[in-house]
Amino acid sequence: MLRTSNAIRLGVHPRTLYALRDSGEIEQVGRGLYRISTATPLTSPDLVAVAIRIPRAVVCLISALAHHGLTTQVPHTVDIALPSHAQIPKLDGIPLRVFWYSEPSYSSGIEATTIDGVPVRIYSPEKTVADCFKYRNKIGLDVAIEALRNWHNRKPKADIQSLSEFARVNRVQRVMRPYLEAIL
């Protein structure tokens, strides 16, 4: 993956970059984002493009649930978390849904995973489940409950303490308590 700004910094003229694109040697993945056309297809092109174009973004909610295999929902947008009062990112061709998180909720539970050779910041499964309860009015309580059930069933020794800590950070302990008691 190569950004136009990185190519220019390496001494490649934009005209050369466009000529390589027109000849089919490289392909344009997004605005200002290229890759070699003979490379294997990307498994998650939207997440890769978001990680490269918006480095402060953290994949969250439905997108993170889908990545961790905790939902049956199909994400129609890429859900990202940004710190409070951050600028709205512009990304052509990829539908984004932006959620602004305050500290310490934004910086807790971030995992760095590699998707298609690109480091992607994504919330841990426990943090994602707690976030679903925090944003239950936007994504639906049924999605949050399904995520909690799938998380508990997926891990035989589910880390309840970690989930409780993220619920405390998000201030949703009272909301989650009855659902946790029901599945335990």
Residue 172 belongs to a domain with what CATH number? Answer: 3.30.460
**Are 32 and 50 in a shared domain?**
no
**Are 30 and 63 in a shared domain?**
no
**Are 105 and 18 in a shared domain?**
no
**Are 72 and 152 in a shared domain?**
yes
**Are 75 and 32 in a shared domain?**
no
The residues, ordered by sequence, that sit 6+ positions from 166 with a Cβ below 8 Å of its Cβ are 108, 109, 126, 127, 129, 130, 131
**Are 8 and 91 in a shared domain?**
no
**Are 93 and 154 in a shared domain?**
yes
8: domain range?
2-36
Instruction: Look at the chain and report how many structural domains it folds into.
Output: 2
- Rounded-to-integer distance, Cα 53 and Cα 41, Å: 19
**Are 58 and 138 in a shared domain?**
yes
Write out pLDDT tens, residues 132-163: 999 999 999 999 999 999 999 886 666 889 99
**Are 8 and 71 in a shared domain?**
no
**Are 20 and 70 in a shared domain?**
no
- Rounded-to-integer distance, Cα 151 and Cα 143, Å: 12
What was the pLDDT predicted at 164?
93
- Rounded-to-integer distance, Cα 101 and Cα 60, Å: 11
- Rounded-to-integer distance, Cα 107 and Cα 94, Å: 24
**Are 15 and 94 in a shared domain?**
no
User: Three-state SS across the chain?
Assistant: CEEHHHHHHCCCCHHHHHHHHHHCCEEEEECCEEEECCCCCCCCHHHHHHHHHCCCCEECHHHHHHHHCCCCCCCCCEEEEEECCCCCCCCCCCCEEEEEECCCCCCCCEEEEEECCEEEEEECHHHHHHHHHHCHHHHCHHHHHHHHHHHHHHCCCCCHHHHHHHHHHHCCHHHHHHHHHHHC
Tokens 């000849």 -> residue: 23
**Are 28 and 73 in a shared domain?**
no
pTM of the predicted protein model: 0.84
Write out pLDDT tens, residues 25-83: 998 877 788 888 888 887 888 898 899 889 999 999 999 999 999 999 989 999 999 99
Band of pLDDT at residue 3, cut at 50, 70 and 90:
confident
